[in-house]
Amino acid sequence: MWTIPNQITLFRIILIPIFIIVFYLPISWNNFGAFAIFWLAAISDALDGYLARKLNQSSAFGAFIDPVADKLMVAAALIMLADDYGVWYISIPAMIMIAREIFISALREFMSSRGKRDVIAVSTMGKYKTAAQMLGIMGLIWQPDYDIPLIIFNFPWEILMFAAYGFYFVATILTVWSMMSYFKAAWPELKSS
């Protein structure tokens, strides 16, 4: 159970309260600090999967806890962003993305109970959704337009914020699309039950 990949996954869970605390600290670099922690969590997610395959340390516990860690971090970030921005065009996509994760988790559990979990295995579209979601969330957490070093060096922060919004909205579209694809794949089983 205490394999290196599982320890990295547990480290990611430990990062969640630290991420939240840093985001709400009354300091000038709170957004950048929270961005850095979220980035570290995203990198550790890729690393633990790679190491599990490379070191042949895949485990049932790892298969369970890895998606839990991912969903907890993303849900925390989306809730914080909805609160921080306080606008419908951030809050509604956040609600859609969180609802999709709950829906797909329930659907996977149902399909597993029927012995057909592979019917809704992670798809390429799901991976694209995750990549766009991570990039969008990171940019919206950072809010580089408020980052002093970027202002000093006359960096075009507007480009980064535009990209962050773009990735966030692409992630929302892919969220709905992938949810419908999973639902369509599972529909014959849902209908028969």
152: pLDDT strictly greater than 70:
no
Burial class (CB in 10 A: 0-12, 13-18, 19+), 60: exposed
Q: In residues, how long is the chain?
A: 193
139 and 159 Cβ atoms separated by less than 8 Å = no
10 and 62 Cβ atoms separated by less than 8 Å = no
Q: What is the mean pLDDT of residues 133-139?
A: 95
Residue with tokens 């840093």: 22
For residues 60 and 54, give the distance between their C-alpha atoms in angstroms, rounded to a whole number: 16
Q: In this predicted model, which residue has the larger pLDDT, 63 or 136? A: 136
Please determine, looking at this structure, whether the domain spanning 4-185 carries the CATH number 1.20.120.
yes
Strand runs labelled E in the chain = none
Tens digit of each residue's pLDDT (9 = 90 or more) over 93-105: 999 999 999 998 8
